[in-house]
Amino acid sequence: MQAIRFDQRVALVTGAGGGLGRAHALELARRGAKVVVNDLGGTVNGVGGDHAAADQVVAEIRAAGFEAVPNHDNIATAEGARRLVQCALDHYGRIDVLINNAGILRDKSLAKMEPADFESVVAVHLLGSAWCSHAVLAHMQGCAYGRIVMTTSAAGLYGNFGQTNYGAAKLGIVGLMNSLKLEAGKYGILVNTVAPVALTRMTEGLPFSAMLQEATPERVSAAVVYLASEACGFTGEIVAAGAGYFARVQMMEGQGVHLAGDELTPEGVAAHWDRIADMSAARPFGSASAALMGAFASK
């Protein structure tokens, strides 16, 4: 297979001052991309800011003979995202790839969580992904080309104790992708999502972190860089990636049951629950309208 390259391409990577984002930025640069390394430089829980994180990754990229510039804007705000995109345009005049990777953690059960902790996590993960995508769209549409890679999580796809804020934001990102793929596809912009498993500072304190010694960020970047490349020709997919494991993830809907007459009651639903819950003939749908048509077509 021909090597995947990004020569003359420009990539923005949010949260690239360490962990997954740093690995993505380094791999893109090695393959010829000019990289804008965005990182506010705050703590894992989103407090404070320090230019050193982004600056250090840029220095690392430049020392290897590749091109990069730092950006320290807060992408949780629409204005911060706009400044990030303008930074790329000012330095390189174009944007081909956006990797929405930035995130924070404020883990606590919902009953014990302060509203600010929920809102802050959603703002960085979900709103940050939305604002950055919004900010690059006009340019990508004008170029009739673009690759946007979102970042979800098993906590969003399947749930995790103490992460209602994080899980809600991460599944929200899947919803963002599912609609954006339809809006952006006609402009040659592909939108996909990675669900990473990696040992980073965000996962170091978790109970299962000892299992992740082989799950280095670099082993996730293989999927991210592919999704960001010209070699990728699909849109709207979720790819789980970690420790050399890669798998397609899909939301599925069962064949279902149509109830009518006297059975169209709560008791009817209870009586037919086994058939309603049967996933043996489950299928995915590419849009809400396709799901609606699927439901009526099965009558």
Q: Given 145, 158, 166, 226, which residue is catalytic?
A: 166
Q: What is the pLDDT of residues 53-64, one digit of tens each?
A: 999 999 999 999
In three-state secondary structure terms, 122 is: helix
Question: What integer pLDDT is reported at residue 200 of this predicted model?
Answer: 47
- List all residues 6 or more positions away from 179 whose beta carbon is below 8 Å from its beta carbon: none
In a domain, 70, yes or no: yes
Active site residue 226: no
- Looking at the fold, whether 157 and 270 belong to one and the same domain comes out as no
* Same domain, residue pair 145 and 288: no
Segment 163-168 shows an average pLDDT of: 97
**Is the per-residue pLDDT at 198 higher than 90?**
no
Q: Are 246 and 219 a contacting pair, CB within 8 Å?
A: no
In a domain, 256, yes or no: no
Same domain, 195 and 268: no
Give the HSE-up count for residue 142: Cα atoms under 13 Å, Cβ half-sphere: 8
Has residue 3 been placed in a domain?
no
- pLDDT tens-digit series, residues 260-298: 999 999 999 999 999 999 999 999 999 999 988 888 775
> Which H helix or E strand runs over 2?
none
- Establish if 255 belongs to a structural domain: no
| 100 within domain boundaries | yes
DSSP 8-state code for residue 93: S
pTM of the shown model: 0.93
Is pLDDT of 201 > 60? no
H or E element, residue 120: helix 115-122
Q: How many domains does the chain have?
A: 2
For the cut 90, the answer to whether the pLDDT of residue 250 exceeds it is yes
pLDDT at position 212 over 60: no
Residue 194, domain member (yes or no): yes
pLDDT class for 42, splitting at 50, 70, 90? confident
Q: What are phi and psi of 226, to 5 degrees?
A: -60, -50
Task: Examine the domain organization and report whether 269 and 226 are in the same domain.
Answer: no
- Continuous H helices in the chain: 19-30, 52-63, 78-92, 115-122, 128-143, 154-158, 164-184, 218-227, 266-271, 273-276, 288-297
187 & 278 share domain: no
* Same-domain pairing of 95 and 241: yes
CA pair distance 299, 296, nearest whole angstrom: 6
3-state secondary structure 229-280: CCCCCCCCCEEEEECCEEEEECCCECCCCCCCHHHCCHHHHHHCHHHHCCCC
Is 288 a member of any domain?
yes
- Note whether residue 149 is domain-resident: yes
The domain in which residue 96 lies consists of 10-249
* Cα–Cα distance measured from residue 34 to residue 78, given in angstroms and rounded to the nearest whole number: 23
CATH of the domain at 116: 3.40.50.720
